[in-house]
Chains A and B, each alone.
Chain A
Amino acid sequence: MSVKVMIPTPLRAYAGKRDSAEFSAATVGEALSGLTSQFQELRKHLYTEDGKLRAFVNVYLNDEDIRYLAKENTPTKDGDTISIIPSIAGGSFAR
């Protein structure tokens, strides 16, 4: 089954400037794994060194935040779209 992954603008430079890619995957995690296998430079921007999705990386399965589903184990079906949406944070020095 084919799942489409939408690649956010700041990561397109690491994905041959593509805005999406399709993978055969049964779960969200498998699709993201397909993405980071094909475009390995993406991995460190999506995952921490111990393999967890970074806090400011939001993953949606057809508009549903996977945090409220089964996270990376959320099952996918043919034709689903996975979107990676950044959240942005920062600030001055810690006090």
Chain B
Amino acid sequence: MSEVLEVAISRELAEKIREHGVETYPYECCGAMLGRDLALSENAASGKKSHSIPREVLSLFPLVNRRDDSPRNRFSVTADDVRDAEKTARAQGLEVIGWYHSHPDHPARPSDYDRDHAWPWYSYVIVSVATGVPQDMTSWRLKDDRSGFLEEKIAPIEVSARN
């Protein structure tokens, strides 16, 4: 795994994640984050190192939370949804590099349940939504030994230098 734990997300896409969390409140929202990971794409042997952003989110793929039994504190994405997200990513020349979800009326920190169900390598973005208002947004990666998460920095990238 890369030593630099950082994921770049434009302010516009970060805002869309917050909006999704507000839209589904008091239920959890979820979606895929499509983008590029430099360490993974280096293996494509293009030899190109055009930029040094280790991992960046370039597009979102919002999903429907499949947990209708306890949608306030759980979310679920089926294997078919994952395949759809991967297909959409490939069509854009991207990869699924992570997943976002909201924690309604709970802090933006991963729970034990998040850890038990997490995959390594992916970035897991959590947005806290308190009484319908978006709060903190954090990002996490599962440790190699599955004992917990490491927080990664969310680096805002400006789509436009203006405004």
Residues of A within 8 A of B (CB): 8-14, 17, 41, 44-45, 55-56, 58, 65, 85-95
In the complex, what distance in Å separates the CA atom of A10 from the CA atom of B1?
Answer: 10
Residue of A nearest to B114 (CB): A90
In the complex, what distance in Å separates the CA atom of A17 from the CA atom of B41?
Answer: 9
Residue B57 CB within 8 A of the other chain: no
Q: Are B40 and A91 in contact (CB under 8 A)?
A: no
> What's the least CB distance linking A84 to chain B, in Å?
10
Besides A14-B120, A92-B105, 17 more A-B contacts (Cβ < 8 Å) are A9-B121, A10-B121, A11-B119, A13-B121, A45-B119, A85-B79, A85-B83, A86-B82, A88-B75, A88-B117, A89-B67, A89-B76, A90-B75, A90-B99, A93-B106, A94-B111, A94-B113
Give the chain B neighbours of A41 by CB distance below 8 A.
Answer: 144
Q: Are B122 and A10 in contact (CB under 8 A)?
A: yes
Residues of B within 8 A of A (CB): 1, 28, 30, 39-40, 43, 67, 70, 72-79, 81-83, 86, 95-97, 99, 101, 103-106, 110-114, 117-122, 124, 144-146
Q: Are B146 and A58 in contact (CB under 8 A)?
A: no
Instruction: Name the one of B43, B82, B96, B101 contacting A91, with C-beta atoms under 8 angstroms.
Output: B101
> What's the least CB distance linking A89 to chain B, in Å?
4
Instruction: Name the one of A11, A13, A44, A87 contacting B39, with C-beta atoms under 8 angstroms.
Output: A13
Residue of B nearest to A63 (CB): B83
> What's the least CB distance linking A41 to chain B, in Å?
7
The 4 closest A-B pairs by CB, nearest first: A91-B74, A92-B106, A88-B77, A10-B121
